[in-house]
Structure 1
């Protein structure tokens, strides 16, 4: 079973509210709002494997000192017990929209080792004032606008701009291309993400990975159904290791690629 914010466990809620309260202590009066997107907002959250996806908006850009404090906070809290992925944006960045969008600070488990080394050695390779952009933010903000959870501060409608559709498509296609390349290495995430991009390409639906997998069973050729059921089961499972035949994954990948790239080429998405 996949969870969402309405039916998740008390442990998940306590974890998120602890992050919110400790973020408030660091950001102080500059905090504008704290929002959840991703699987915990849309459904399909698996406490054993899913990230908790967060956007934080501030009134001003963050100092290097504040970024260091946030890095320490998320190094301590993330994966204890749930992995967090968070981006900090300020109001000026959101008002002066561009794609890829600049941001002030980002944390995910992918960044853990970099921040650990940075704080240990005292370098400024990652925690600095240099401008940084993220093409994924157009997708994150679109999902937040459509299905996000407002936890604290100004409402989603007050804070986030409407993302131009070409920017959203560019953002999801960036991830789509990555999944085409890595489907055998990361079959569950990549297969479900390819399917949800296909769903958007066909019908304009913004979905969770779990929703996309179930939709795929009703639309994709029957020869793929067995593998997709395995993928959905793995996504919802507490087990961390699953085996999939590479040929089956590649067949699904190539079919979806033909459909999506063809629609993109002719301007149908």
Structure 2
């Protein structure tokens, strides 16, 4: 696992290609590009991790530019690394609200939607409607705390200091999804749930890798084998086939009760 400062030339070159081609399509509207997520926090796995980016512009991105960006990101995402990117303009950051609006978002989850819009010349997803994403409160908080400025003004001059209640709302929404989806995606759910628990308990903003190691040292002994398996699968890109329903139920029961207790104590 690696961070931006220690990543391979292949990863660095891929990010720089994203920077150059994104700037080309945004033109004079472009302001900056920033890394958050595992590549910023030292948990990037070349076999399994996304590259998480925020791009900032001077003003709203037009429909035509959105289509050009979608075409480009569709052509490069997962070749070799999947990308997740959100584009916001200055006013959306300066007049912060939660859930935050944004101009454009791409991830592999959106691939089929954008492909369909482009092939049929439709505007179901590539349009000027106001889109909102509660996850941006978490992305921006992590960017302020651990992010990397690749190009543009320094992070502290670009991004607002997101209120704690907005960040908490964002990560608790993700926590609920992790609990509900633990049997479908145990590795992500276990490590992300521990991230949330560590934050509500001690106020620590962590990567999945860091949270897993903390959980291994801090959770009850009967849960440590489950956490250890999740860490192993995440670090080595191993298929998560070895999780039993009973251990996942025990983990979610414990972590849910602990998070609720921390929230009550902190209210």
Per the normalisation by structure 1, the TM-score is 0.97
Q: CA deviation at 1:253?
A: 1.1
- Residues 103-114 of structure 1: pairs in structure 2 closer than 5 A: 103-114=102-113
Q: CA 1:267–1:221 in 2, change beyond 3 Å: closer, same or farther? A: closer
Deviations 1:109-129 (A, max 9, x none): 000011001100111110001
Counterpart residue number, 1:253: 252
Whether the 8 Å CA contact 1:33–1:152 is kept in 2: the answer is: yes
Counterpart residue number, 1:228: 227
Q: CA deviation at 1:262?
A: 2.3
Counterpart residue number, 2:121: 122
1 CA distance for matches of 2:109 and 2:241? 21
Counterpart residue number, 1:148: 147
Unaligned runs of 5+ in 1: none
Q: CA deviation at 1:241?
A: 4.8
Kindly tell me the number of residue pairs found equivalent between the two proteins. Answer: 267
2 CA distance for matches of 1:223 and 1:240? 22
Counterpart residue number, 2:90: 91
2 CA distance for matches of 1:103 and 1:238? 32
1 CA distance for matches of 2:81 and 2:17? 12
Whether the 8 Å CA contact 2:186–2:240 is kept in 1: the answer is: no
1 CA distance for matches of 2:81 and 2:48? 8
1 CA distance for matches of 2:34 and 2:23? 13
1:159 is the counterpart of 2:158: yes
- Residues 1-269 of structure 1: pairs in structure 2 closer than 5 A: 2-264=1-263, 266=264, 268=266
Per the normalisation by structure 2, the TM-score is 0.98
Whether the 8 Å CA contact 1:33–1:155 is kept in 2: the answer is: no
Q: CA deviation at 1:165?
A: 0.4
Deviations 1:92-144 (A, max 9, x none): 00011100000000000000011001100111110001101000000000000
2 CA distance for matches of 1:48 and 1:169? 30
Deviations 1:31-58 (A, max 9, x none): 1110000000001111111100000000
Unaligned runs of 5+ in 2: none
2 CA distance for matches of 1:36 and 1:156? 10
Whether the 8 Å CA contact 1:234–1:242 is kept in 2: the answer is: no
Deviations 1:195-221 (A, max 9, x none): 010000110000000000000011100
Find the residue that maps to 2:5 and give its secondary structure: coil
Whether the 8 Å CA contact 2:183–2:248 is kept in 1: the answer is: yes
Q: CA 1:22–1:240 in 2, change beyond 3 Å: closer, same or farther? A: farther
Q: CA deviation at 1:239?
A: 3.0
Deviations 1:165-215 (A, max 9, x none): 000000000100111100110001010000010000110000000000000
1 CA distance for matches of 2:124 and 2:261? 40
